[in-house]
């Protein structure tokens, strides 16, 4: 399964992780995703968005839904892979 995950697109990893977390009501995963988004945005060069998210949780929720897209998704890719490897039932 580990090799198969590495071959998936970041968007597919995001979608699988989100679906699995929703199915299992995994608040811990969503919380870790929300905590990592500002740092991932800064890493991907969007420091303004990271600052905004630190101040407004509404932005974080929107970002969590779209966190598999673009440079943000690439910065969060290791989180999605780690989560899916830890929960092979996804």
Domain residue limits, the chain? 2-86
Question: In the predicted model, what is the mean pLDDT of the chain?
Answer: 82
pLDDT of residue 90: 55
Note whether 47 and 21 are within 8 A (CB): no
What is the average per-residue pLDDT within 18-27? 92
Task: Tell me the pLDDT tens digit for each residue of 37-78.
Answer: 877 877 777 666 656 555 666 666 777 888 898 988 999 999
pLDDT above 90 coverage of the chain, percent: 39
What CA dihedral angle connects 80, 83, 2 and 88, to 10 degrees?
Answer: -130
């Amino acid at each position: 399964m580990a090799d198969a995950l590495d071959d998936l697109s970041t968007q597919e990893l995001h979608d699988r992780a989100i679906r699995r977390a929703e199915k299992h009501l995994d608040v811990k995963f969503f919380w870790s995703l929300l905590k990592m988004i500002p740092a991932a945005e800064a890493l991907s060069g969007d420091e303004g968005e990271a600052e905004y998210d630190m101040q407004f949780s509404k932005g974080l929720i929107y970002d969590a839904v779209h966190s598999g897209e673009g440079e943000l998704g690439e910065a969060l890719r290791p989180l999605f892979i780690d989560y899916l490897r830890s929960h092979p039932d996804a």
